[in-house]
Structure 1
Amino acid sequence: MNYATVQDMIDRYGEPEMIQLTDPVIVAVQAPTAQRALEDAQAFADSFVGRVYRLPLAGCAKPAPVPGDLGAVQLVAPPQLTRVVCDVARYYLYSDLAPEHEVYLRYKAAERELMQIAEGKSVLSCPWGGVPGALVAGDAPGDAEVFHSFSPRRITDETLRGFA
């Protein structure tokens, strides 16, 4: 599942900016350039999200009624991941930014948000209900595999000799 599309970036940042970032001769949005940045941004997001959720994410079940089936749904990325991946991809498309530039600040905010998810301080959510994917550690007691190791010791008078 792709978290964001080139069209998502055009919708968020406008076609003029996307043309400027992807086409050196300023003619049209070059989808392959933008798509490469989106793929890199998704891999970046997965490096954080994958600490908590099993990858690939199943996706959120968004209602997508079709004639004859009003209960139809489509699986989509959680909206916050779409936003974060777009912000990171946009940052990747720029070649030189000052630390106070809006694009850089949005990238850093996206990085912090992903870190919050990775540390379990924030969660991915589906505004239409449900969950975006299975948790790595399991989402119910007993789902996670817990490994422990210890050496069996026997406590005897002999092993306790010398302790007061």
Structure 2
Amino acid sequence: MSYATALDLITRFDAEEIAQRADRIMPRRVFGPLLTAVASSADLSDYDVDEVAQAGVAMIRVQRALDDARDAINSYISSKYSLPIFPVPAILQRLACDLARFYLYDDTATEQVKDRHTAAMKLLDDVRAGKAQLGADAATGEQPPSSAGAELVSGERVWQRDRSKGFI
């Protein structure tokens, strides 16, 4: 289960940008509206067979980037949370989109894409270290289940030598 869908990625960032990164064949056959239509399972009758086939290949690249993002996220948060996390907190969806976008760029990432990737990785590192939490799901308010072990907390000691007043 991915933390974000192809449609989440396309709507969070420019559909043309994602289409350009996902369709690497020149001349390009996949553009934003076609990729959005494929991602949202819309009617594709306005497109020819070759365009739809190329869009399918582009969607495979998008899904691979989303899967890579999910795997990276899981490697950081698996020590703190039970996987898979459902419902997906909004922060995880954003992180998955930032990471997937970076993975789609390969070696040609812009400074903005690199900065967002670096910030996402730092936040994941903070979650792993216990400095940050994923927060509640925006729709339900439900916290992700933690896989942290049991913790024993007690008050101060009841019996102490200096308080026994000759008893011990």
TM-score when scaled to structure 2? 0.67
Is the helix fraction higher in 1 or 2?
A: 2
**Is residue 2:12 matched to residue 1:12?**
yes
**Corresponding position: 1:115 with 2:125:** yes
Superposed counterparts of 1:42-81, under 5 Å: 42-57=70-85, 59-60=86-87, 77-81=88-92
Secondary structure of the structure 2 residue equivalent to 1:94:
helix
More strand by share: 1
Q: Is the 8 A contact 1:19 1:27 kept in 2?
A: no
Identity over aligned residues, as a percent? 37
Alignment partner of 1:89 out of 100, 108, 115 = 100
Deviations 1:8-35 (A, max 9, x none): 1100111100110011242223211100
Give 5+ residue unaligned stretches, structure 1: 61-76, 143-164
1:141 Cα deviation from its structure 2 partner: 4.0
Partner residue, 1:38? 66
> Residues 141 and 38 of structure 1: is their aligned pair in 2 closer, same or farther, counting only changes over 3 Å?
same
Matched residue type, 1:14: D
Tell me, what secondary structure is at the counterpart of 2:107? coil
Note the C-alpha offset of 1:95. Answer: 2.4
Tell me how many residue pairs correspond in the alignment.
122
CA contact (8 A) 1:97 1:104 kept: no
Unaligned runs of 5+ in 2: 36-57, 153-168
Between the aligned partners of 2:29 and 2:94, the Cα distance in structure 1 is 26
- Cα offset for 1:131? 1.1
